[in-house]
Every structure is written in C-alpha cells, then in structure tokens.
Amino acid sequence: MQSVLNSVKGTALNVAEYLTPVLKESKFRETGVLTPEEFVAAGDHLVHHCPTWQWAAGDETKTKPYLPKDKQFLITRNVPCYRRCKQMEYVGEETLVEEESGDGGWVETHQLNDDGTTQLEDKICELTMEEIKDEMHTPDSEKSAPGAGAEAEDEDDDEAIDMDDFEESGMLELVDPAVATTTRKPEVESKASPAAGATGENEASGDPVLHTRTYDLHITYDKYYQTPRLWVVGYDEQRKPLTVEQMYEDVSQDHAKKTVTMESHPHLPGPNMASVHPCRHADIMKKIIQTVEEGGGQLGVHLYLIIFLKFVQTVIPTIEYDFTQNFNMS
C-alpha cells in the first residue's frame, strides 16, 4: 500500500515540477533553497575538494535546459557498504539512573554484574587445537626396549663417532625430535549459495566472510523543491544489482519506504532507483544557516552540498561515502 501511495505521489510531483518555474533569484539564506546556478557552484566546490565526485551529463533525451549539458548531476561510484543497518542496532537494555538531586538522570547502556563485568559478552573467535599424536618420532622410537635407559647411561663412555662414518650410515636422514611435524586435515568444501553474500544469508548461517556491497550515489537538482536530491543504487560483490528489499537493508528503518522511496531517475533511463525525498532538505539547511549566524559565522552557498551529504547520511549510515572536508557549526 505504501509503495502505491509513493508511486502516485511521485507522479504528481513530476507534474508539479514540470509546471514550477525555474528559481532565478537566490533565497538561500531566507529559505535554504538553491537556484540552478548555485547548485552548479556548490557541485564544483564538492568536486574540487572531493575528487571521488564527478559531474555527469546523463541521457541526452533527459537533459534539463536550466543546467549545463555536461553538469546535469553529480556521481560517485563503488562506495563501500560493509554492514547492514540492523547490525548497528543496539540490543542491550537501558537503565535510567536517577541523580540524587532529582534534577534529571542519564541512561546507562551497559549494566555491570557483581564482579564488575558487563552483561554483554564479547564475541571472540575461539581457536582450538586438537592433540596430534605421534607427530614427533624417530624410526627407532618403536623399537625402544625396557633396557634402553640403562644403555643410554653408558653412551657418554663411548668414543666419538667420526663425522664421515656418521654421514655414510644415513643417520642424518632421521627426523629430529626437536622439530615439530604437522599434518593438515583436508578442508571441507563449502557449498554456499553464490547469492549468499548479496542476500545476507551468510550472516545467518555463521559465514565469517565479510561480503561487501558497493553503491553508486547521484546528486541531482530538484526543480520543484529547489534543493539537491540524493539517489543510490547498490551492487553485490559480483557487481550484480541489489533488489529493492536488499537496498532497504542499508537504509535506516526509520526512513525506509518513507523518506527513501523507489522512483525514476530524472537524467537516466532504466529501472527505478532509491532516492532520499527532498521535502525536508530546505528546512534542515535553513536551521543550520540560522545556527551558524547565531554563532557569529556566515555560511557560504558553495558549502551546501558538503553539509547536505553530512546530514543526509543519517538516512543511509552504513554507506561510507562522506570523505568531504569537516564543517564547524560554531
């Protein structure tokens, strides 16, 4: 039902965007929106400071006349995603610890036992070694007799053996008991499904191999909301596209199918892509601008996309794309 509503809403917004005139006058400080020229300037600044981002032209039939032909949208490829969002969820219990003054309290996320240890045990990979018998032996070890100990006591009284005779006797070929010899057990061939890395089934079955997904990220200009818009498309280790549900595994559950929906790309043909809806972007940017100005600073419009990438990462926290410069709010 939610997908149907998103589809209807997306169609209506496409019509509204078509009818919306292009913003000509800057309203960045007043409302947190961008003109197409400001979007290009912010994109140039991002590409300069973070070369993993590049401008792209897209499909010629989808070129927007209010943007330069070679700067229709921004793209970065092969961004790693090592974990699923559910792996970041905290599974421990929280305890409210009250202050004696009664003014407030704080949350203790780690409870201690009587011996001072935490209730959450570290997951450690235990290494076990099986006893290997008869690894160190000599050819005469099985021929030892009960009286061998007595004969050994008289060895010191014998004359030293000539080295040439010792070599010719073949004694050098004996296994030195001081050297450990090991035997490798045959490895059991794994018959895991090729798609296990992409679907996450390997995690449930205890597969210790880390299967990394990668994402291509696009930033477009939304003419209706007059803000940047983020698009993502994911791939498994074999560079096969992820399904819709698999991509939702890498989206914060508070935003999946709500803030993040599947829609058609404005500059590329093909299947729908996951997109972070831009309806709140201008409000968030306006609050950031006000916070900076209250602290006596001034925020330039060229920093828009750098700040945009930072606050939108809360929606896709496991996709590690933010390698841009730091930004100080004060």
Catalytic residue ranges: 279
Compute the distance between CA of residue 7 and CA of residue 62 in angstroms, rounded to an integer: 20
The amino acid sitting at 269 is P
Residue 315, judged by CB atoms within 10 A of its CB (0-12, 13-18, 19+), counts as: buried
Listing DSSP states for 133-163 in one string gives: TT-S--TTGGG--TTHHHHHHTGGGSPPPPH
- Alpha helix ranges (H) inside the chain: 2-19, 28-31, 36-49, 148-153, 163-168, 196-199, 201-204, 244-248, 281-294, 304-312
- Residues with Cβ within 8 Å of residue 283, at least 6 apart in sequence: 32
- Residues with Cβ within 8 Å of residue 189, at least 6 apart in sequence: none
Q: Token pair of 132, please?
A: 């290997």
Alpha carbons within 13 angstroms on the beta-carbon side of residue 191 total 1
The amino acid sitting at 54 is Q
Compute the distance between CA of residue 1 and CA of residue 289 in angstroms, rounded to an integer: 37
196-204 long-range Cβ contacts below 8 angstroms, 24+ apart: 197/236, 197/237, 198/236, 198/237, 198/238, 198/240, 198/242, 198/246, 199/246, 200/84, 200/246, 200/249, 203/84
13-19 long-range Cβ contacts below 8 angstroms, 24+ apart: 13/224, 16/224, 17/222, 17/223, 17/224
The residue count of the chain comes to 330
Compute the distance between CA of residue 203 and CA of residue 194 in angstroms, rounded to an integer: 14
